[in-house]
Structures are given as structure tokens and as C-alpha cells.
Structure 1
């Protein structure tokens, strides 16, 4: 099986995770940093990562309000997904509600310093997004 990359797209950063060849677990890969709201620059970097890792499938976090509505951040993610798809990438939009909270909790339990948490929180959120997708695909919940 080909690997899958998970993305947590923000306004200045994009956390990236990648799964193993068996689609069981995933790990943090990197954080793409870009100028505020310059999603074209982010797209270029993500496409490079996909090519380097020979990946053709992405799970992109879809931010929703707690009531399920899609706001401006969600619309930006949908537009980003369309651009990835036009480059030949298969994209799965995945509900990312509370993934950053879960990632923060994991880092706090691991006694990671505030400075270090700030550097890796986006990657950890991407791990949460991708892992929940993999768990669902593998019959989990």
C-alpha cells in the first residue's frame, strides 16, 4: 500500500504527518511555514513533500464549528483540497474538531516544554487527524 500524508492547515503553518506502509500508525513529519494566508506557497511545499515521499493520497483536516457548520477556515481547507486534487492527489477531508486540544493534552502529558510544544503542535494535530482516519479505515472508531 502507498503511504498517506495528513495535513493540519492553519493560516501560517501546516502540520504534516505520514503513515506507515501498512496504514496502521503514523508519525509527525514536519511543519510547513508560510506567510499569513499565502496558501499557494503552502501548496507548493506540500506538493514537494508529496513527491519526495511518493505519496498520492492526503487526509486534510476540515475545521468545523462545534455545531457542525463549516466556517471560513473550513472553506479555505475545501479550496486547498480542490487545488491538491487538480494536481492529481486524492484528498479526504476529515473532521478535525478538537484535534489540536487532543495534541496539546498528549504533549502536556509527555511533559513537553511550552517552547517545544509551540514548535510541534501542528505536526501532532496532523498526526491526530491522520490516525483517526486510519483507525476508521481499519475498522476502529
Structure 2
């Protein structure tokens, strides 16, 4: 299935399917799940990246076990709106994943998601160790929640 616009992704899902949000980093992949009503995003897990094949295997196991019908990948657009090398890396990951599984994928602008989550964790007085443990999956939830909250703005 091709890469879809967020509205098309939501329209392609059956009533009981969830979305899986991904925050792709060079060392980890943060995961977040929506509820079946696709209203709330919850931090789920963090995958330590190794090789694409192993990463995809772990990711698709979550997809199968959790009833996921589509993926939302954070797209790290530069502050000036241009797409740099990190965006190309995310797009390549999505293309490779699409070859393994016919599943709808959408991108969501993730500008400042990790910064926002880190700021929230600092305000909550989380330790450095705790922040390191949860920041990626919380950033994935921030990305996914952004899409869920903006669905009324999709034309």
C-alpha cells in the first residue's frame, strides 16, 4: 500500500484497528499505540535498533499482536520546512517496511517532539536515567497524538 495522507490513513482503517506511532531515531525506535477509537495515544515501547530486518521483525510482531491497522511515522522536517537527511532516512525505512507488509503508512511532522517531551519530563523532575528510558516512546505518543488531535482539520 502506498504512503497515504493522514486523512486517507484514518479512512482506510476498520473500526477496531489501532494506529502505531513511530519515532525513528538512529539508535532506537519509540513506539506508541492508539486506542481502538483512535482518540488517545499511549507510549508503548522502545526498540533498540540493530539491522533493518530485525527491527522490522520486532515492529511487525507488535503490529500483529496489538491489532494495528496503520503506521504513523514522525517526519523530522527542519525548522525552515525543508527535508534533510533524517527525513530521507525515515522515508527509506517506510519504503523498506512497505515491501515487507501491505499496510497503510502516513507521515506526521515531528518538529520539536523530542524537545517538548524532554521539557515535560524535566518539569516533572524525572531523573536523567528515567528520561533516557522513556523519551523515545513518549515522543512517539506525542507524534501520534498530534495526528489524532488534528483529524478534524483534514480536508
TM-score, with structure 1 as normaliser: 0.91
1:88 to 89, 98, 102: 102
Number of positions where the alignment pairs a residue of Structure 1 with one of Structure 2: 138
CA contact (8 A) 1:84 1:91 kept: no
**Secondary structure of 1:23's aligned partner:** coil
Alpha-carbon offset, residue 139 of structure 1? 4.6
- Taking the aligned partners of 1:58 and 1:118, their CA distance within structure 2 comes to 24
Runs of at least 5 residues in structure 2 that lack an aligned partner in the other structure: 1-14
Which residue of the partner structure matches residue 130 of structure 2? 116
Moved more, 83-92 or 57-66: 83-92
Between the two structures, name the one with larger relative contact order (CA 8 Å, sep ≥ 6). Answer: 2
Alpha-carbon offset, residue 132 of structure 1? 0.2
**Secondary structure of 2:119's aligned partner:** helix
Alpha-carbon offset, residue 83 of structure 1? 2.3
- Taking the aligned partners of 1:111 and 1:19, their CA distance within structure 2 comes to 26
**Secondary structure of 1:56's aligned partner:** strand
- Taking the aligned partners of 2:120 and 2:153, their CA distance within structure 1 comes to 23
Is 1:7 equivalent to 2:7 in the alignment? Answer: no
- Taking the aligned partners of 1:5 and 1:138, their CA distance within structure 2 comes to 19
1:51 to 46, 64, 67: 64
TM-score, with structure 2 as normaliser: 0.84
RMSD between aligned alpha carbons? 1.4
Runs of at least 5 residues in structure 1 that lack an aligned partner in the other structure: none
**Secondary structure of 2:21's aligned partner:** strand
The 4+ residue runs of structure 1 with deviation greater than 2 A are 38-41, 83-86
**Secondary structure of 1:93's aligned partner:** strand
